[in-house]
Structure 1
Amino acid sequence: MSDKTFTPADVATHNTPDKGLYIIIDSGVYDVTNFADEHPGGAKILKRVAGKDATKQFWKYHNEGVLKKYSPKLKIGEVKDVAKL
């Protein structure tokens, strides 16, 4: 797992399959590009939230076990909140 930091603006540029599909859950950044087709809820949902903070949507449908299971594979870093600098 990388300790790379992203700004929300960095994540926002990764919102298409060719640029990569990144989502934010809590403060973690996840690359779901290659996972989209495996997503039990369908790829369309991930594409819709790509580049955005999907925390609220994620917790509405998943529990912590899901995050723990997929974090090692999908987590690529953390969001650094520019406002706090």
Structure 2
Amino acid sequence: MSKTFTAKEVGEHKDEQNGLYIIVDSGVYDVTNFLDEHPGGAKILKRVAGKNATKQFWKYHGKNVLEKYGSKLKVGELAETAKL
């Protein structure tokens, strides 16, 4: 079963020591060990670590990328929050 994260919890994972987590749609992904493999370079992933990277992700990637790597990198889901 996957873990549920709040946006605040994801925000605590913004460096290599604590892990680099990103949010894409409602999924939470640990990209710490993907830095060297990322075709765009590690710098881009470090810039969005701890944040919602949905907009940036879909700007440069197709659905096939998430299908290929998502299952290996996904660590959980983003908790739903009440919208006021």
Normalised TM-score (structure 1): 0.93
In the alignment, the residues of structure 1 paired with residue 22 and residue 82 of structure 2 have an alpha-carbon distance, to the nearest angstrom, of 19
Partner of 1:12 in structure 2? 11
Q: Conserved in 2, the CA contact under 8 Å of 1:36 and 1:46?
A: yes
Question: What letter is aligned with 1:25?
Answer: V
Structure 2 runs not aligned, ≥5 long: none
Q: How many residues align?
A: 83
Q: Conserved in 2, the CA contact under 8 Å of 1:8 and 1:81?
A: no
Q: Superposition RMSD on alpha carbons, in Å? A: 1.0
Partner of 2:49 in structure 1? 50
TM superposition outliers: structure 1 runs of 4+ over 4 Å:
none
Normalised TM-score (structure 2): 0.94
